[in-house]
Amino acid sequence: MRMLINVPETVVADALRGLAAAHPELNVDVEKRVIVRRDAPVPGQVALVSGGGSGHEPLHGGFVGPGMLAAACPGEIFTSPVPDQMARAAAAVDGGAGVLFIVKNYTGDVLNFDMAAELAEDEGIQVAKVLVNDDVAVTDSLYTAGRRGTGATLFVEKIAGAAAAEGQPLERVEAVGRRVNDNSRSFGVALSACTTPAKGSPTFDLPDGELELGIGIHGEPGRERRPMMTSGEIADFAVDVILEDLPPRAPVLVLVNGMGATPLLELYGFNAEVQRVLRERGVAVARTLVGNYVTSLDMAGASVTLCQVDEELLRLWDAPVKTPALRWGM
């Protein structure tokens, strides 16, 4: 195993210490595993709280800051944070307007966020929830009942975060987040499996010359294995699967997301093919984001996420944001 770590047992804590050192605008509690924007709570503003297993960086801690999340709760590698973390985060960021939990559809995350909502409500905090379930590759999996939450999490956190920053009430911010999720679909491809620090070996076997279509973000294999395809062939396949499930009715936001080990040279080339397919299918592109944002440790591969947007959602996407991993307009 070749990893830039000390020991597997301290990987998450070490990363949180490094995040704190690099970003003094965040309050990072390494022991209690909560990341909070330093100016929280913001009076009268809905606070967004998200979280999940570590290994998907910059999701979620890298999206904490003005215009996006108020707090994030990192769990162990590919393991849900515990309810106490989320309840503690909600208490730290509640400015009197309520807290919106943004939850990827994985069984552990859903159960723990539900328990956290009960704990927070017992303390008088108003809580709403948006469940992200954008992955079209599988209906059910080892980790979920229903579709998995993947790349659309970024769209939900950014657009709902902008609505919160405008001072919109909790029910409106929740509705915006749900609308983003309902209009988003994703599909991922792996060129290699990832390696968790604890296991020290790939999470599944992928022979040379083959790829996995329809992977998730927890190291699980895809729904289909094929001989290696070109970038253009992968783009044709991924975009067509998405559009079969989300017939284009409006311009789309495009996220071409790396799974952790794919260099930008390849991601930009893949984006060129994704844009080609969208043009050929008559789909208008409003905005495009390319990079490693919702990752799976050191997995090589990429995912495509499309979100249909109207004028309001596009305005909220363009609104200022200032986080470690996403920033513009400030």
Active-site amino acid positions: 56, 218
Alpha helices in the chain (DSSP H): 11-22, 83-93, 107-122, 152-165, 170-182, 231-245, 264-280, 311-318
CA-nearest of 109, 49, 113 to 79 is 109
Q: Which two tokens stand for residue 61?
A: 């801690």
Could you tell me whether strands 285-291 and 252-258 are parallel, antiparallel, or unpaired per DSSP bridges?
parallel
Residues 251, 45: Cα–Cα separation, whole Å = 30
Residues 293, 297: Cα–Cα separation, whole Å = 11
Is the separation of the CB atoms in 229 and 302 below 8 Å? Answer: no
What are the residues facing 302 on neighbouring strands?
Answer: 189, 258
CA-nearest of 267, 279, 329 to 304 is 267
What DSSP character marks residue 275? H
CA-nearest of 204, 223, 78, 213 to 138 is 223
The SS3 assignment for 221 reads coil
Residue with tokens 């440790």: 297
CA-nearest of 3, 279, 325, 316 to 161 is 316
What DSSP character marks residue 9? G
Residues 157, 236: Cα–Cα separation, whole Å = 28
Cβ burial, residue 228 (10 Å; 0-12/13-18/19+): exposed
What count of other Cβ atoms lies within 10 Å of the Cβ of residue 231? 16
Is the separation of the CB atoms in 141 and 98 below 8 Å? Answer: no
Range 149-159 burial, b when 16+ CB lie within 10 A, else e: bbbbbbbbbbb
